[in-house]
């Protein structure tokens, strides 16, 4: 949840309000052919440009890419194009690179409600591709791909993985460039102030001295750089002991100072008195600033890493071999099980119709069964053949009852009386 801000009466609420928006410039559309095959003339683009006023800037977040998506049903407004013509500042700019005339317009992004989008803009230096959404109203009668009238409905910000329909259509954040220029100007001002202050201090230190002479002072700095080597030239680590090679570096710094002649005379006398006294110099052992890298330690560390990775690779290969063996066993079991079930189903189907065919015909059907790939189709074909064979070979079971009756006239005898008479014969 956003924090609640309170303002005193003397604070400038206009600045606070403006800080909620990020101004940008959109090259949203151009004349020519789009990647979808539609063609637009410059006249139709100029005629439809005013429909951009007040339209939303849309976007959808892609979690997997951590970027904007494309035209998506989940896209939501993240900004707007001003409805005021002066604030929108619609212009038509010809681009030599694309050989097209683009329509450009100002827009504003809501920083408060589109924080992810603002972060994406910061990551891409304030530039993203866009694609315009529009309604086609009229098309040319002779060429259906040529659009003569259309209306803008919005502008969608695209991710890096999606190409715009109009090459060169993009959105550029204006505020980022302004902040850069302001920061650059502030830096130049501070730099100039520091240089001016140093020059002022140097000028203040310059004094005109009467009876001045030029005195040349020399400072000698002695330092030792100690490096230890083995007999083969390798560098010795801190835990090894070997011969040491000492390199002494002497730096001479000569400065010219203008001093008072009287003070200079006294200083010379002091220097002459101290000249006869022995001077003991003590050199401290200093570590060399540019130490040579321990290549042997780096090599050993790399070898250990390689050995660890090789062991992991071997373990993965062994696991893969085990899984591969299990998969082969499962494939073999599956194949055997399917073959067993297929043979059982075919045997049942052939057993049902065995009485309809001769042994030679059954052998032919068994050969077909071995080659069949679809059990249901084979079963249907077998049943159809059995039905046809049974239809042709089955005799009629309808037996007429004789009408010859010696004791009764046939017109007066019923069916059951005739049956009884036949049985009693």
**Whole-number pLDDT of residue 144:** 86
Q: Identify the pLDDT of residue 147.
A: 94
The H or E element that residue 102 is part of is strand 100-110
pLDDT for res 109: 94
Retrieve residue 267's tokens. Answer: 């200083």
Question: 293 — phi, psi (to 5°)?
Answer: -60, 150
Distance CA 71, CA 38 (A): 17
HEC string for 44-60 = HHHHHHHHHCCCEEEEC
> Given this model, what pLDDT does residue 354 score?
79
- Contact between 223 and 286 under an 8 Å Cβ cutoff? The reply is yes
In this prediction, residue 175 carries a pLDDT of 62
Structural domain spans, the chain: 15-179, 212-265+282-286, 316-393, 398-425
Instruction: Decide: residue 403, CB within 10 A, 0-12 exposed, 13-18 middle, 19+ buried.
Output: exposed
Eight-class DSSP state of 293:
P
d(CA 269, CA 162): 85
Segments in the chain below pLDDT 70: 1-12, 175-187, 191, 193-291, 392-412, 425
Per-residue burial over 19-51, b = 16 or more CB atoms within 10 Å of its CB, e = otherwise: eebbbbbbbbbbbbebeeebbbeeebbeebbee
Q: What is the DSSP string of 219-274?
A: EEEEEEEEEEB-TTSPBP-TT----EEEEEEEEEEEEEEEEEHHHHHHHHHHHHHH
Is 367 within 8 Å of 400 (Cβ atoms)?
A: no
The whole-number pLDDT of residue 414 equals 76
The pLDDT of residue 25: 95
Region of 122 (left: φ > 0; alpha: ψ -120 to 50; beta: rest) is alpha
Give the per-residue pLDDT at 210. Answer: 47
- What is residue 279's predicted lDDT score, i.e. its pLDDT? 47
136 phi and psi, to 5 degrees? -90, 125
Burial code (b: 16+ CB inside 10 Å, e: under 16) for 245-261 equals eeeeeeeeeeeeeeeee
The span from the CA of 281 to the CA of 279, in Å, is 6
| Apex 123 CA angle, 30 and 24, nearest 5 | 40
Asked whether the beta carbons of 417 and 424 are under 8 A apart, the reply is no
Read off the pLDDT of residues 5-36 as tens digits, 9 standing for 90 and up: 554 444 567 777 778 889 999 999 999 999 98
Q: What is the edge-to-edge ordering of all strands in the sheet holding 212-228?
A: 244-260, 212-228, 285-286
């Amino acid at each position: 949840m956003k924090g609640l801000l309170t303002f005193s009466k003397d604070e400038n609420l206009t600045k606070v309000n403006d800080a909620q928006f990020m101004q940008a410039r959109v090259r949203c559309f151009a004349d020519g052919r789009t990647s979808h095959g539609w063609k637009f003339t410059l006249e139709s683009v100029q005629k439809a440009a005013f429909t951009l006023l007040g339209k939303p800037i849309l976007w959808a977040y892609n979690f997997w890419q951590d970027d904007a998506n494309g035209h998506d049903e989940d896209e939501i407004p993240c900004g707007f194009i001003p409805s005021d013509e002066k604030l929108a500042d619609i212009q038509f700019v010809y681009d030599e690179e694309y050989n097209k005339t683009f329509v450009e317009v100002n827009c504003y992004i809501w920083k408060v409600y589109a924080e992810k989008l603002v972060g994406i803009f910061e990551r891409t230096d304030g530039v993203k591709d866009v694609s315009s959404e529009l309604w086609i109203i009229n098309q040319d009668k002779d060429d259906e791909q040529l659009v003569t009238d259309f209306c803008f409905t919005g502008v969608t910000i695209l991710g890096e993985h999606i190409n715009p329909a109009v090459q060169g259509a993009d959105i550029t954040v204006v505020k980022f460039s302004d902040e850069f220029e302001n920061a650059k100007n502030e830096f130049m001002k501070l730099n100039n102030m520091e240089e001016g202050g140093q020059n002022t201090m140097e000028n203040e230190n310059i004094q005109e001295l009467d009876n001045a002479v030029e005195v040349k002072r020399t400072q000698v700095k002695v330092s030792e750089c100690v490096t230890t080597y083995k007999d083969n030239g390798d560098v010795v680590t801190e835990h090894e002991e070997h011969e040491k090679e000492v390199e002494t570096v002497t730096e001479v710094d000569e400065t010219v100072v203008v001093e008072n002649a009287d003070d200079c005379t006294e200083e010379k006398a002091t220097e002459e008195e101290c000249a006869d006294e022995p001077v003991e110099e003590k050199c401290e052992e200093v570590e060399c600033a540019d130490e040579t890298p321990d290549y042997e330690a780096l090599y050993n560390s790399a070898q250990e890493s390689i050995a660890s990775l090789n062991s992991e690779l071997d373990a993965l290969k062994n696991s893969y071999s085990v899984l591969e063996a299990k998969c082969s066993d499962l494939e073999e079991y599956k194949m055997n099980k399917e073959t067993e079930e297929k043979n059982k189903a075919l045997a049942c189907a052939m057993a049902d119709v065995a009485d309809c065919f001769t042994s030679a015909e059954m052998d032919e059907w068994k050969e077909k069964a071995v080659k069949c790939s679809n059990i249901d189709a084979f079963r249907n074909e077998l049943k159809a053949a059995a039905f046809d064979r049974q239809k042709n070979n089955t005799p009629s079971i309808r037996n007429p009852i004789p009408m010859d009756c010696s004791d009764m006239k046939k017109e007066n005898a019923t069916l059951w009386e005739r049956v009884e008479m036949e049985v009693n014969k």
